[in-house]
């Protein structure tokens, strides 16, 4: 593989942004990060650009006309290419509740992409996320409760798994046998995420003790904070060991509350997600998603029941939002890359710019526009 040198970059490292660095890349990995200009087969000057670790999206349902629940390999490739062009270098296709047949069909299509993606300049699929299969019907949001499952001991075995990859599921701990579900998820090496829930504090504590320590799209589809009732939100904010992800589109959570929640919890314990759906990248209009009409107006989704039906942002949009709220480049990179990598258990290879890690990198200009994307050392997008 051709070696690359990225010179003159302001590079966002785990402990701060370092100006005028040289990042040497070989065999798809970062070889070194120094202030000395080395030699390579090919050199890119990143003068006046900021170099971030590639963005990681652990919760995304679709984009550019593609819906994960009905996607084939060609659809997934199209979506992964779009994500790469917008700075996302790793992602988890995310299911909404559906039939087991749908799950099997799409998992088979995901496997086809996984076989070829390592040598393709597209965002890499690192796992799958089943959202809401074991959720609370009263907190379903845009999910379809007719496809919810009740855990009695074997239902987890009905969910198709990838041959290799990370497996997440968002569940409600108050659902029938919810605590037993957590134990089984942990036993089978799934990552359990709490969401679509109105669980009480005692149930939340039991779920935590069983191994569920992260919440899905914080504030949304969960009981909120009241000064006489902490709710799920209050429990998460006041329990130090709990982490959460949040949709930074300014719609799902008001910007001032978004900033408050992240500052309260700390950027060490918050991950950004897109929760993007099929219309992402297509602008406003009416769309068919999950068997119903969803309208997009001024960047806001709404289904016929009046519920928000996912977002139409990319992880890049989330990054821009957090920067606009005053978070530093290091803090934003932590939330968009390092923390998701740690949640997924891939932090040894992803999430930060350090020697030995994958060369998944994105260079942004002062306006936050993507100017260069590398995935495994391959150029996925070039605008310089």
The residues that are catalytic are 275
Helix ranges, the chain (H):
73-85, 100-117, 178-187, 201-210, 231-238, 255-265, 315-324, 329-333, 339-344
The span from the CA of 377 to the CA of 384, in Å, is 16
Neighbours of 251 (CB within 10 A): 16
Q: Residue 167: phi, psi to the nearest 5? A: -125, 120
β-pair partners for 207:
none
The span from the CA of 168 to the CA of 194, in Å, is 11
Judge contact between 338 and 331, C-beta under 8 A: no
End-to-end CA distance of the chain: 21
Residue 132 structure tokens: 């809401």
β-pair partners for 88:
55
Burial of 157 (0-12, 13-18, 19+ CB in 10 A): exposed
Parallel/antiparallel/unpaired status of strands 42-45 and 4-13 = parallel
Neighbours of 115 (CB within 10 A): 10
* Cβ neighbours for 269, distance < 8 A, ≥ 6 positions apart: 242, 243, 244, 339
The span from the CA of 335 to the CA of 378, in Å, is 24
* Cβ neighbours for 383, distance < 8 A, ≥ 6 positions apart: 369, 370, 371, 372
The radius of gyration of the chain's CA atoms, rounded to the nearest angstrom, is 20
Judge contact between 283 and 224, C-beta under 8 A: no
**Distances, alpha carbon 201 to alpha carbons 42, 150, 235, 241, 383, in Å:** 56, 21, 7, 15, 50
The span from the CA of 262 to the CA of 195, in Å, is 18
């Amino acid at each position: 593989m051709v070696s690359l040198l990225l010179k003159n970059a302001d590079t966002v490292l785990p402990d701060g942004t370092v100006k005028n660095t040289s990042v040497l890349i070989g065999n798809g990995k970062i070889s070194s990060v120094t202030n000395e200009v080395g030699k390579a087969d090919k050199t890119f000057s990143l003068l006046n650009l900021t170099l971030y670790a590639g963005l990681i999206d652990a919760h995304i349902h679709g984009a550019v006309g593609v819906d994960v629940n009905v996607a084939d390999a060609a659809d997934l490739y199209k979506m992964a290419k779009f994500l790469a062009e917008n700075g996302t270098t790793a992602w988890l296709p995310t299911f909404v509740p559906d039939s087991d047949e749908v799950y099997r069909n799409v998992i088979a299509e995901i496997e086809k992409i996984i076989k070829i993606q390592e040598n393709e300049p597209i965002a890499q699929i690192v796992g799958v996320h089943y959202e809401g299969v074991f959720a609370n019907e009263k907190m379903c949001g845009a999910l379809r409760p007719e496809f919810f499952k009740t855990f009695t001991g074997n239902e987890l075995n009905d969910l198709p798994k990838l041959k290799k990859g990370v497996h997440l599921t968002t569940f409600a701990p108050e659902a029938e046998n919810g605590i037993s579900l957590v134990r089984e998820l942990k036993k089978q090496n799934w990552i359990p995420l709490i969401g679509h829930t109105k669980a009480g504090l005692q149930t939340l504590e039991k779920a935590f003790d069983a191994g569920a320590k992260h919440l899905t799209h914080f504030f949304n589809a969960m009981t909120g904070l009241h000064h006489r009732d902490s709710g799920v939100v209050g429990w998460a904010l006041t329990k130090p060991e709990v982490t959460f992800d949040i949709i930074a589109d300014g719609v799902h959570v008001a910007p001032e509350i978004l900033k408050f929640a992240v500052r309260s919890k700390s950027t060490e314990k918050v991950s950004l997600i897109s929760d993007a759906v099929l219309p992402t990248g297509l602008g406003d209009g009416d769309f068919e998603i999950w068997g119903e009409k969803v309208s997009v107006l001024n960047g806001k989704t709404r289904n016929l029941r009046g519920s928000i039906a996912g977002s139409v942002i990319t992880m890049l949009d989330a990054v821009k939002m957090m920067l606009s709220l005053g978070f530093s480049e290091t803090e934003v990179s932590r939330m968009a890359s390092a923390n998701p990598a740690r949640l997924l258990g891939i932090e040894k290879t992803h999430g930060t710019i350090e020697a030995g890690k994958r060369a998944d990198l994105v260079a942004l200009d002062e306006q936050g526009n993507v100017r260069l994307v590398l995935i495994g050392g391959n150029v996925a997008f070039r605008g310089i």
